[in-house]
Amino acid sequence: MDLPGAAHLVLAESVVPLDPEPAIFNAMLEGWARQQRVRFLKDETIARRLWLVQRFQAFSGLYPWQWTAEEIEAFFAGLRSGERPIAVSTARGYQMDLRLFLEYVCDRRYGWISLCEDRVGAVPQQLIDLDNSVGHASVFEGRPGRRPLTYDEVQALFDAADARVEDIRARGRKGGLAAQRDAAVLKTVYAFGLRRREAWGLDLGDFRRNPKLPQFGGHGGVFVRWGKSSRGGPPRRRTVLLVPEMDWILPVLEQWLTELRPLFNPGNHPALWVTERRGRINDRKLDAIFAAARDSAGLDPALDLHCLRHSYVTHLIEFDYPERFVQDQVGHAYASTTAIYSGVGDDYRNRMLLRALTSQNTDMWETPK
């Protein structure tokens, strides 16, 4: 069949390479890449999967038609050892990628089975199933250190970012303007509960006026165009409304847009966050910005930029916003995902307990009708 990724479309049947095994393997990788592209998977997803297959082949020294379950188990045993063992979720993702590759080459519609029989006398087999793969036993499998920041920790983080500006100026060094940008980025990420790529992709025209809250001016909401996608689909979009508890971000944005950003001379560039080279800031740079402020504030090194999003979810819940509202604000498809992000403090839980007790006592003394 002339399916994208079929063996005869990648490896000419009339050409016999001098070294057939690596030629067939490389053709399998190219065919798998084509098969994934027609499903609109991201280039980085395809590249990551190909890299993993190549890594396993280099580890085993064998080709797919020679692979065994023992080699796969030895591969993952090696990844679990050493100074930086992989996480459970990473292992599951790797196993899923290898399983998908084996599903592709074992699917007779693509012709790799018959080609391998003719040229190397052996065929690949599916080697990964429920019995030898990592199960999904827990809802949350992130690093234990990843958690929401407390209000004091958020304030300490922002204070450290602002202090860096003053320190650079006091030393007469370059970079003061970039440091002011970095502080504004961190505050915006928290104030709107953004993911890293969502903050990276913001343009000037993405801010919205909220007619219900005219006092917020043109920053009553932000239109997120680079939300997390799934199953090869486009980035999901949503509008995040600015809540009154976060209105302290308004003067920060106003100063950035009217005073600081023009000093970068961005011209007609639409990006909200720009660099000295008049381009959009690199999304990986946002991780470094957070890490620098975190270390200056003396916070836990396990915290990362995404923890600000966890903090946003937690604090909205503590502000007594309905769960559905919080879910829509952060763009989660399921309420269970939002629940994983939350980590309300003891003060909030005690308030809920006292509220419930007060309501119960009131009901007890109501006059019967």
Question: Which CA distances in Å does 197 have to 85, 224, 230, 345?
Answer: 27, 10, 14, 28
Residue 331, Ramachandran bin (φ over 0: left; ψ between -120 and 50: alpha; else beta): left
Which of 254, 249, 259, 111 minimizes the C-alpha distance to 176? 259
Look up residue 191 and give its two tokens: 């104030």
Residues labelled as active-site residues: 195, 228, 306, 309, 332, 341
Q: Percentage helix, strand, coil, to 5, in the chain?
A: 60, 5, 35
* Alpha-carbon dihedral angle through residues 86, 89, 90, 95, given to the nearest 10 degrees: 120
E strand intervals along 59-205: none
| Amino acid making up residue 345 | G
What the block records as the tokens of 188 is: 């915006």
Selection from 302, 308, 297 nearest residue 161 by Cα: 297
